[in-house]
Chains A and B, each alone.
Chain A
Amino acid sequence: MELVIKNDLSEIEALSRFVEAFAQEHHLAPKLTFEINLALEELVTNVISYGYEDQDEHEIRLTLHIENGRLRAEIEDDGRPFNPVEAEPPDLDIPLEKRPVGGLGIHLVKNMFDALQYQRENGRNHLILNKEHVTVGTG
């Protein structure tokens, strides 16, 4: 399934409906649906908030695919190059008063998926998330 959205935070709602529709079609468990929703929201929010140097309208392309128990999600955008795979993990052992309030989004995504793959191709970011052994219900 594919969805193309604009670089506007109000599009997150459409993203969420897209994930719900995909989950329904493949009878995915609520927990997995939640993880896909969260991952796409975190990553797309980052792209929309920090990815562009201009104020123009851009398209972000999302695809979800399941085959042989393997879930594949791809986010494609024409924002500035950004490789979340290389993002530093946050230090979770520091005390509350010193803990920075940001940086958790990518950390959540990395822990919920089995593999993240990044490519920069023809001026576009391609981020692919994979999750293995996904149970697809029969209805």
Chain B
Amino acid sequence: MNINEEVRGNACILSLNGRLDNESTQGFQERMSTIIDGGQTRLVLDLQALEYISSVGLRAFLLAAKKLKPLNGKLVLANLQDHIKEVLDIAGFSSLFPSYPSVDEAVQNVG
């Protein structure tokens, strides 16, 4: 799992490349925490190159969102592939995390 980080205005864009599974999720979770602790509260996750996500990955999204809530922060998603969207829909995450067809639109809407 590779995570590329880019700051654009107020937004921090994280591009996830690879698998978000048992093995890689802890590193991802720690990275998100560090970013939020460092003062970034407008997060965009670009999921274009995310090959795989299981419930541990979903858990990391939820934990980040819970951490952002008292900070009035926001976590939005961009470039969902069909199989990733299916998982998010089944998990009921679509109502928790707005998603956009491109990173540009996600950045515009993350506030």
Q: Which residues of A contact B (CB under 8 A)?
A: 9, 12-13, 16, 30-31, 34-35, 37-38, 41-42, 45, 90, 92-93, 96-97, 99, 101-102, 104-105, 107-108, 111-112
Contacts and interface: CB of A to CB of B under 8 A. Distances in A.
A105 B21 CA distance: 12
Contacts of B92: 90, 92-93
Given A34-B52, A104-B58, 4 more contacts: A34-B83, A38-B87, A93-B92, A104-B55
Contacts of B69: 96-97
A108 B87 contact: yes
B62 interface: yes
B64 to A, nearest CB: 11
Given A31-B83, A97-B66, A108-B55, A41 B91 contact: no
Which bucket holds chain B's interface residue count? 20 to 34
Nearest to B51: A34
Interface of B: 21-23, 52, 54-56, 58-59, 62-63, 65-66, 69, 82-83, 86-87, 90-92, 96
